[in-house]
Amino acid sequence: MVSLLTDDVNINSIMFQNYKGKDGATKYWQELFTIFPNIRIDIVTLTANEERIVAEIDVSGTQKGEVGNSTGLEKKFQVRGAFVYEFSDNMKIREIRMYYDSGVLKKQLDTVKYK
């Protein structure tokens, strides 16, 4: 996957942080698959042109590590969202933006306390 990225790629993640460059992208995916080893991303709809791909997605899996204030206990989650992939002139990914209801996800993973 890293070979598909520009050297200065930006990855914007609501749950984690923003990552820059190929080293940042590698770190992001390592953290993601460590915490959510069985993460599954199903495409609901896909729209594309020469500059970007927008995918409406269902993301699900089981948390195996700590995120924020969570205990790191195994918790299942499912959330619908969208990923936007922006491409450079040489058709490499220069930015990935992820959108989903982080409140719903945080509640499922118990990273915030609700009354």
Taking only the tens place, the pLDDT of each residue in 86-95 is 999 999 999 9
Nearest partner of 36 among 14, 61, 57, judged by Cα? 61
pLDDT, the chain, mean: 88
Is residue 39 exposed (0-12), middle (13-18) or buried (19+ Cβ within 10 Å)? Answer: middle
- What's residue 83's pLDDT? 95
- What's residue 66's pLDDT? 66
Q: Are the C-beta atoms of 62 and 38 separated by less than 8 Å?
A: yes
Residue 115 has pLDDT above 50, yes or no: no
Mean pLDDT of 80-102: 94
Taking only the tens place, the pLDDT of each residue in 57-77 is 999 999 886 665 555 578 899
Quickly list DSSP for 74-113: -EEEEEEEEEEEEE-TTS-EEEEEEEE-HHHHHHHHT-S-
- What's residue 70's pLDDT? 57
Radius of gyration of the chain (CA): 15
- What's residue 67's pLDDT? 63
Percentage of the chain modeled with pLDDT above 70: 87
